[in-house]
Amino acid sequence: NGERLILIGDVHGAKHELKKLLNKINVDYGTDRVVLLGDFIAKGPDSLEVVNFAIQRNLSCIRGNHEQEMLRRYAQMYNRHGLGKKVLDAQISSTDLVCDDEICLAKHATIDQILYIANCPLMLDLDTIPLGKAKRSVLAHAGLMWNVDNLIDQDPEAVLNMRMLLPPDNTSWVDEPVEEGVHWATVWNDYQRTLPEENRTAVVYGHYAAERLDLRDYSFGLDSACVKGNHLSALVV
């Protein structure tokens, strides 16, 4: 039926680059499903406009660490006693405002923008959609722990933040690269090769901008550091 799955790495408020990329791959919003792999806000110039665009075009999303931090800041600022004031504030929020950090974004986001972000799941199980050499695939912003069998048992903090695992057993993670660490995707790919072919799973993720585009048999890293002046990347299935 011509339907495609379009997975997009960390946008970080780069609305111009997002629209340019989607135009380049001739997106059809009627049949294609576009999924933002988290961290589509913060750092860049047009975070709230990216959210508006995602709402208007019915883009799907998973949650990244920056979305999580924005929601945490929002909860701090606007508890249940302050929600009425927040609705009024949202009505006069300026779309021209330059917000590039989570505190500013939480302060100026509208209710619709907050609800969109809050509804981004932590992971998205694509089930039997094959990618690379795997029979099934999962979307997760930072990645998955290789030694956790069920998605429901994954540590949310790891899914949002991890970059490396620590030897010798590679069962603990860190969010910043360390000299003795091993890229979680290296361990993940090695582990998948030990499983029966029908049980192997690929992970599509972002977050690890230092590695740029990182495509392997059982993992696809799509954060190519767009916000730092490099390209924005998409995986089209």
Q: In the predicted model, what is the mean pLDDT of residues 152-174?
A: 97
The CA distances from residue 54 to 25, 64, 160, 217, in Å, are 17, 15, 20, 30
The per-residue pLDDT for range 186-230, each reduced to its tens digit, is 999 999 999 999 999 999 999 999 989 999 999 999 999 999 999
Phi and psi, residue 188, nearest 5°:
-60, -50
Report percent pLDDT > 90 for the chain: 85
* pLDDT of 114 over the 60 cut: yes
| The predicted structure's pLDDT at residue 94 | 47
| The predicted structure's pLDDT at residue 38 | 98
Distance CA 102, CA 145 (A): 27
* pLDDT of 232 over the 80 cut: yes
Q: In the predicted model, what is the mean pLDDT of residues 141-159?
A: 97
| The predicted structure's pLDDT at residue 4 | 96
| The predicted structure's pLDDT at residue 99 | 80
Q: Which residues contact 64 (CB under 8 A, 6 or more apart)?
A: 10, 37, 38, 39, 40, 141, 142, 160, 206, 207
Question: How far is C-alpha 64 from the geometric centre of its chain's CA atoms?
Answer: 5
Mean pLDDT over each residue of the chain, to the nearest integer = 91
The CA distances from residue 27 to 48, 67, 138, 231, in Å, are 22, 25, 22, 18
To the nearest 10°, the Cα dihedral for 237, 42, 210, 204?
A: -20
| The predicted structure's pLDDT at residue 100 | 83
Tokens 């997106």, residue? 27
Distance CA 176, CA 230 (A): 21
The per-residue pLDDT for range 75-110, each reduced to its tens digit, is 988 775 455 455 445 444 444 556 889 999 999 999
What domains sit in the chain, N to C, each tagged with a CATH number?
A: 5-236 (3.60.21.10)
Longest dimension (CA), the chain: 56
Distance CA 196, CA 142 (A): 25
